[in-house]
Amino acid sequence: MPPKNTQRADSVILERLTRYLLWLENSRTGLTVEDIRRRDEIGEKTVRRVLSEMEKCGWVQSAPRPSEHNKKYWTIKKPPQIEFAHDELLSLYLGQQMMQPLSGTPLFSGYRNLMAKVKANQPRAVEELAEVFLKHFQIVPFGQCDYSEKTELLSALIHAVNNDREVAITYQSLKSEKPKTYPVHPYAFFYHRGALYIVAFSPDTGKTKHLKLNRLFSVAETGKAFKRPSTWNLADSRNRSFGVFTPSDKPQVVSIHFEGWAASHVKEATWHKTQEITMHDDGSLTLKMTVADLTEVQTWVLGFGPQAKVLEPKILIENVRKAAADICRLYAEQHG
């Protein structure tokens, strides 16, 4: 088992590493350990540890300056010239579509800057050829969110996640009539069906929530630190979910029978880490999985119409039956 504070230490080093890179890139003459220590308001030992990691990566270098009594200055190390194969270049260009869902985030900005440098050092013909490929290869966005106006909020949340800082957020859930402000402990992010979500613990309710970035109006640090559970990690949290809803119940086995086109569709993909598929002689199949929330399972099953039938648990059978009856009633009243 990894040390309790491994995730915390790694995220803090990563954020400091990124910050130091930016400072050094913007410094014409370089910075000393003391310069960085004063800016970051931390101990010399921590600064040296981060610089050591950066030096191992080949990103920075240090050299004594004779004019200042051999005081050691740290500077950015010029990256080696990287040669790309032609197929690798085309992959980079095509990858722009894969990154588009993260438009407005720091990750997308970094990729955009990378592509600008690549394009500046390649003949225009390469980009034109890539554009031809893109005409025949498209990623079709479906329900994709726009984060262009959420950059500051996202940056504040990233800082809070990396440094275990409590934040007060103003957030409006789908069920709320107006926004509410309350403190949360942001643990991590995940991307699901065109949207970014924050996994956050609410000290007021004692529950963990999945908060959609689009519904956030403000983020402000409260000045308090928090300590996340040593056993918590994002992968385990997501494995208990089906979709985006926060696991609110004990894990339970879900069994669904699919036939016709639905069976063909379901067997082509992985829907949950715990899934088990049993094929039947008539071409139908039974999907079993263990999940801790049935909300999105219900809507997923309904999307297959009569081609999907819930076998267990009983509560899911009843919820799907009731939802289907409500839909039939709605259309009966409309056309009755």
The residue type at 63? A
CATH number for region 252-335: 3.30.70
Pull the structure tokens for residue 213. 């970035």
**Can you give the pLDDT at residue 8?**
52
CB neighbours of 301 closer than 8 A, spacing ≥ 6? 256, 308, 310, 316, 320
Pull the structure tokens for residue 84. 């790309």
* Banded pLDDT at 3 (limits 50, 70, 90): very low
| Digit-coded pLDDT (tens) for 79-126 | 777 777 777 877 888 787 778 777 777 777 788 888 888 888 877 877
Q: Give the C-alpha distances (Å, rounded to integers) separating 171 from 72, 208, 234.
A: 48, 15, 22
* Banded pLDDT at 275 (limits 50, 70, 90): very high
pTM of the model: 0.68
**How many residues are there in the chain?**
336
| Digit-coded pLDDT (tens) for 311-333 | 999 999 999 999 999 999 998 87
* Banded pLDDT at 9 (limits 50, 70, 90): low
* Banded pLDDT at 4 (limits 50, 70, 90): very low
Mean pLDDT of 12-31: 84
**Can you give the pLDDT at residue 318?**
97
Q: Give the C-alpha distances (Å, rounded to integers) separating 16 from 10, 21, 112, 163, 184.
A: 10, 8, 22, 10, 23
**CA dihedral sign of residues 326, 332, 335, 336:** negative
The single-letter DSSP state of residue 146 is -
Average pLDDT over all residues of the chain: 86
Q: What angle (nearest 5°) sits at the alpha carbon of residue 73, between those of residues 69 and 77?
A: 145
Mean pLDDT of 47-59: 90
Q: Give the C-alpha distances (Å, rounded to integers) separating 80 from 58, 59, 117, 160, 226.
A: 9, 10, 14, 34, 41
Pull the structure tokens for residue 31. 């910075």
**Whether 202 contacts 209, CB under 8 Å:** yes
Q: Does domain 6-76 have CATH number 3.20.20.210?
A: no
* Torsion angles phi and psi, residue 225, rounded to 5: -100, 160
| DSSP helix/strand/coil, 137 | coil
Give the helix/strand (H/E) hosting 189.
strand 180-192
CB neighbours of 335 closer than 8 A, spacing ≥ 6? none
**Whether 200 contacts 186, CB under 8 Å:** yes
SS (H, E, C) 270-330: CCCCCCEEEECCCCCEEEEEEECCCHHHHHHHHCCHHHEEEEECHHHHHHHHHHHHHHHHH
d(CA 183, CA 190) in angstroms, rounded, equals 20
Classify domain 151-239 at the CATH topology level.
SH3 type barrels. (2.30.30)
